[in-house]
A and B are shown apart, each in its own frame.
Chain A
């Protein structure tokens, strides 16, 4: 059973997704419970998987029995290690929470779209699982494409103006996939393998290979493609529109997972494929990514400060955090790497939580822009959760956001990269500024315009909002052992 856990984790949402259209033909009220149950079971199995990996160590799975380790590796290898299993717990947890939350919001989607809605969510989750496990760069491409295609359709489900945003996302996302595939071709032509572990061995054996033109070109295309997928600052144009216009129940899922999983893929290829932890040759690429990260951290928070619409503001906040994580990854030491992976998990939860709040605010109070915010006073539950999440976004002690940022800064100090520290601090101040703007609106002196409130919050919405807010605090309180866990992943990455 343990040997087959990775593929079972993938098949659970996938098999449910292909059954749903047929179930939905007869009775579409069964779609939601079925999808929810499969994701909850997946969450349980993901936790079991994490515990097993902690106990028995890394595991590699050869699909169809094509054993990895034969030379050259012909089969498809899935790697189930510490980082992958932790990522999977985050993905399945957020996915089940989003599904729970979406129950009260389905009326906004429309009855005839219920079946595709749940099918696409499950397909998206199974594709993300595939990216997390993939042990070769071509499989990352395949699952990136499946995830992206589901995401385009999910954004477009809202209809109306969302169609334009979805089309823009489609064009830019396809461009990103194409660049990525082109990069894969260069790598394959030079090394003769797609398997990351084998590539790693080759680069360790002959580091001068990393200077060859084909590999440099390949890296450029690869990271350009992934940069579009993870909305790295100058390539972020698709993100704010897509997240703002997507159905309210979809934005949290996309904001929490899509860009983070692309970033995870980038880290995987850098450290497990290009041996960035062991060799000096990939350092220029890391420095460049770190520099772009600084730019993104500053520009993202600056642009967030200028937004009127709540969802758009949070989307830009997410862009700045992608930059922050990249800064941490590019310091090439254990502390910063562990901190940035910890921050990655935190950021997934914070982003999902913020979009949960934004969605509930729109549905129950009609709050879309900053000027509507005083109306949120009618709902103390939302405001309390919002305060906890904002503290974590800014990085104030008892929350997870603080400890992630703190370790990234410590790592940057270790690497004597003072420019990075300045960028992080300035971006933190800017984040504080835009949250202050929001809280001044909520608590400041202004007339409360009664009363567009449509009853009290539904229980699932309360649960989703409350759980995410609690979790950022809990993650902060447990940061010691968690950072220790991510230090293990850093040493697995060769740092």
Chain B
């Protein structure tokens, strides 16, 4: 069973750290175009920031309620991914061939760059939600066992 941490030091440190972790997650996500990083790593970091919030602030705090709602949007990230790929298909190119994204006033390089960022955002959203739902399902298992005993 997940409960709020009882030490005020941990809670205030958590409140300080969580936004920083989320900022770092966004950095990793967008830096993925130029160096190591990208949607997968960024998504995991984003997911863990929510997990930290839940562990430190408890299940009644806003982050946890938000996370529970996010859990239902399991497919949104994948939808973004497939949607971008599908737009390329509609544009007349192969699946995920970003140069066929039908956007006016953008040259080829800009289209490819935008396409990759969009798909990476989709991947990050999906990974973050997956990390949350794994932890939630484990938590549920524990609380069920506890209620049986």
A interface list, Cβ under 8 A from B: 4, 7-8, 11, 14-15, 18-22, 25, 61-65
Contact = CB atoms under 8 A, between A and B. Distances in A.
A11 B74 CA distance: 18
A212 to B, nearest CB: 34
B78 A4 contact: no
Q: Is the interface of A mostly helix, strand, loop or mixed?
A: helix
Contact of A63 (B75, B86, B96, B98): B96
Contacts of B98: 64
Interface string B82-110: 10011001000111111110000000000
A63 B99 CA distance: 13
Contacts of A18: 75, 78-79, 82
Given A19-B75, A21-B72, A25-B72, A61 B94 contact: yes
B94 A64 contact: yes
A19 B94 contact: no
Interface residues of B, number: 19
A377 to B, nearest CB: 45
Contact of B89 (A8, A14, A20): A8
A321 B129 CA distance: 42
A63 B98 CA distance: 11
B37 interface: no
B73 interface: yes
A4 B90 CA distance: 10
A11 B94 contact: no
Interface of B is mostly: helix
Nearest to A19: B75
A15 B73 CA distance: 14
Given A11-B86, A25-B72, A4 B95 contact: yes
Contact of A7 (B73, B75, B94): B94
A15 B98 CA distance: 19
A7 B90 CA distance: 12
B140 to A, nearest CB: 13
B38 to A, nearest CB: 16
B95 A15 contact: no
B84 to A, nearest CB: 11
**4 closest A-B pairs by CB:** A65-B97, A18-B75, A64-B96, A7-B95
B21 to A, nearest CB: 27
B95 A64 contact: yes
Contacts of B78: 18
Nearest to B73: A22
Contacts of B93: 65
A351 B93 CA distance: 40
B12 to A, nearest CB: 36
Contacts of A62: 94
Contacts, number: 46
A108 B138 CA distance: 26
Contact of A65 (B74, B75, B76, B99): B99
A237 B129 CA distance: 35
Given A4-B89, A7-B89, A8-B89, A19 B95 contact: no
A64 B97 contact: yes
B72 A22 contact: yes
Contacts of A8: 89
Nearest to A64: B96
A19 B79 contact: yes
Nearest to B83: A15
Contact of B95 (A20, A22, A25, A63): A63
Most chain A beta-carbon neighbours within 10 Å: one of B93, B94, B99: B94
21 contacts: A4-B89, A4-B95, A7-B89, A7-B94, A7-B95, A11-B82, A11-B85, A14-B82, A15-B82, A15-B86, A18-B78, A21-B72, A22-B73, A22-B75, A22-B76, A25-B72, A62-B94, A63-B94, A64-B97, A64-B98, A65-B99
A28 to B, nearest CB: 13
Contacts of A64: 94-98
B95 A11 contact: yes
B87 to A, nearest CB: 12
Interface in B34-91: 72-76, 78-79, 82, 85-86, 89
A150 to B, nearest CB: 14
B93 to A, nearest CB: 6
Contacts of B82: 11, 14-15, 18
Contacts of B89: 4, 7-8
A159 B8 CA distance: 43
A115 to B, nearest CB: 11
Contacts of A14: 82
Contacts of A63: 94-96
A135 B7 CA distance: 56
B51 to A, nearest CB: 21
Contacts of A61: 94
B141 to A, nearest CB: 13
Contacts of B94: 4, 7, 61-65
Given A21-B75, A64-B97, 18 more contacts: A4-B94, A4-B95, A7-B94, A8-B89, A11-B82, A15-B79, A18-B75, A18-B78, A19-B79, A21-B72, A22-B75, A61-B94, A62-B94, A64-B94, A64-B96, A65-B96, A65-B97, A65-B100
